[in-house]
Amino acid sequence: MGVQRTTLPGGLRVVTEFVPGVRSASVGVWVGVGSRDEGPSVAGAAHFLEHLLFKSTPTRTALEIAQVMDGVGGELNAFTSKENTCFYAHVLDDDLAMAVDLVSDVVLRGRCRVADVDLERQVVLEEISMRDDDPEDLLGDLFIEAMFPAHPLGRPIIGTVDSVESMTRSQLRSFHGRRYTPDRMVVAVAGNIDHRQTVALVERAFGGHLGRDVEPVPRRGGAARVRARPELKFVKRDSEQAHLSLGVRAFGRHEGHRWALSILNAAVGGGLSSRLFQEIREERGLAYSVYSSVDTFADSGAFSVYAGCQPENLAEVTTVVREVLAQVASEGITDDECARAKGSLRGGLVLGLEDSGSRMNRIGRSELNYGNHRDIADTLARIDEVTNDEVRDVAQVLLARPFGAAVVGPYKSARQLPSSVKSIVG
């Protein structure tokens, strides 16, 4: 059966996937707008708006919205990324119609009342404080800032205290009015559902918001225009551990080599048998948490390593990480590692797609980011096709790029960081 798509007037896309064996349905209304679409003065607007829309609609108060969803034991939530915003509900299949209606109502008709803007501003400021109190979260934002200086991708999704404090109702309403248009939206539904019935529910829920026949806004594309070199960023915290991220800019979504990079990532720091886990944790006991990861945006990305360790061990950890990366840059990974990484991706892919929530996420994101859907057999075949030569080339190319880094920890200043850290950024 696979993924089914219907495009409604106004350019709204509805994508669905039937998931055998489940009694649930996941409904996501995706909007192709995120923090990279904000100007600096409204940094955090997409995320702020995501909060605000839940506060009321013309026919429902925030309490009524919450009561309806709690009453059936469903989950109602939303998240904002650099490029997309998703409002979603996970419910029993019997409650599909309610979920489609409720989530659509919030997205389309969420009001931005002055009193709510001020209340929710406080909540977002609390969320910023929470992020600041979690060294690993803080480091994550800091690292992306170090990798994309003076570029919209580098700004934190949540905004800054200043931008959130000064955001006005009219800025948020205008952001909503201009960006939340049906041609930028995808309704993704997965679970024990039927495509035609789901489309009818969406038509009814969107009603007058559908508009005239227009094409959906094309997927994001283009080449990255990140000109500034990656930097070293440091924030002082009186923490027990020092937290380090370092890495390079990687491929955008449409540049290819996606699976070769995933294989490299798995072998370097993706699992328990990866080089970093073995060298840093298993052989030396230097960290509890150490891993590599890949971020992918439309036109750029990042490949990075994280480790948290005792401050006095940061120099050693950094040296070992850099040695592991240097070795991979010059020699690539072994054929055994490549085979194991492929197995890891294959298994992870299949195991990760059993519930309706992850299916909904996959098809919603895929429709917005790629405009098409690959079935799992096809994806598995693509993973199989990657050669270790391609992985070696990717390692060689990426790891020759300029590095950026970020540290959160108990040092007086960036100058007090170990020289192995300071020399990462050339």
CA neighbor of 74 nearest in space, from 19, 15, 26, 22: 26
Residue 351 in contact with a copy of itself, rule: CB under 8 A: yes
Min separation Cβ 71 and a copy of itself, Å = 4
Min separation Cβ 210 and a copy of itself, Å = 29
Q: List Cα–Cα distances, 192 to 6, 20, 197, 260, in angstroms.
A: 18, 7, 12, 34
Q: Which of 3, 46, 91, 268 binds a copy of itself (CB under 8 A)?
A: 91
- Taking the least distance from each CB to a copy of itself, the nearer of 25 and 185 is 25
Q: List Cα–Cα distances, 167 to 40, 41, 74, 118, 314, in angstroms.
A: 11, 8, 32, 10, 39
CA neighbor of 357 nearest in space, from 11, 61, 91: 91
Q: What phi and psi, each to the nearest 5 degrees, are found at residue 273? A: -95, 0
Residue span binding a copy of itself (CB under 8 A) among the ranges 27-35, 105-113, 210-218, 280-288: 280-288
- Chain center to CA of 402: 23
> Nearest-5° angle of CA 113, CA 117, CA 122?
155
Min separation Cβ 158 and a copy of itself, Å = 11
Task: Kindly identify the residues of this chain, within the stretch 164-223, that bind a copy of itself according to CB under 8 A.
Answer: none
Residue 90 in contact with a copy of itself, rule: CB under 8 A: yes
Is 50 assigned a catalytic role? yes
Strands (E), 217-355: 232-236, 242-250, 290-296, 301-309
Residue 284 in contact with a copy of itself, rule: CB under 8 A: yes
Residue 89 in contact with a copy of itself, rule: CB under 8 A: no
Residue 393 in contact with a copy of itself, rule: CB under 8 A: no
Cβ–Cβ < 8 Å for 418, 234: no
- Taking the least distance from each CB to a copy of itself, the nearer of 8 and 53 is 53
CA neighbor of 148 nearest in space, from 77, 247, 226, 209: 226
Q: Which residues of 195-214 are buried (b: 16+ CB within 10 A; e: fewer)?
A: beebbebbbebbeebeeeee
User: Catalytic pick from 17, 38, 50, 231?
Assistant: 50
| Pairing of the two strands 404-409 and 242-250 | antiparallel
Strands (E), 142-300: 185-191, 232-236, 242-250, 290-296
Please give the size of the binding site for a copy of itself, defined by CB under 8 A: 78
Q: Which of 70, 165, 194, 389 binds a copy of itself (CB under 8 A)?
A: 70
Cβ–Cβ < 8 Å for 56, 131: no
Task: Kindly identify the residues of this chain, within the stretch 40-69, that bind a copy of itself according to CB under 8 A.
Answer: 55, 62-63, 65-67, 69
- Taking the least distance from each CB to a copy of itself, the nearer of 75 and 375 is 75
Min separation Cβ 130 and a copy of itself, Å = 6
DSSP per position, 295-329:
EE-SS-EEEEEEEEE-GGGHHHHHHHHHHHHHHHH
Q: Which of 15, 287, 298, 320 binds a copy of itself (CB under 8 A)?
A: 287
Task: Kindly identify the residues of this chain, within the stretch 252-271, that bind a copy of itself according to CB under 8 A.
Answer: 266, 270-271
Min separation Cβ 23 and a copy of itself, Å = 6
Residue span binding a copy of itself (CB under 8 A) among the ranges 29-37, 126-134, 177-185, 200-208: 126-134
Residue 239 in contact with a copy of itself, rule: CB under 8 A: yes
- Taking the least distance from each CB to a copy of itself, the nearer of 358 and 420 is 358
The 10-39 site mask, x for binding a copy of itself (CB under 8 A), equals ---------xxxxxx---------------
Name residues whose C-beta falls within 8 Å of residue 234's C-beta, 6 or more positions apart in sequence.
406, 407, 408, 411, 413, 414, 417
Task: Kindly identify the residues of this chain, within the stretch 299-328, that bind a copy of itself according to CB under 8 A.
Answer: 308-310
Residue 275 in contact with a copy of itself, rule: CB under 8 A: no
Q: List the catalytic residues.
A: 50
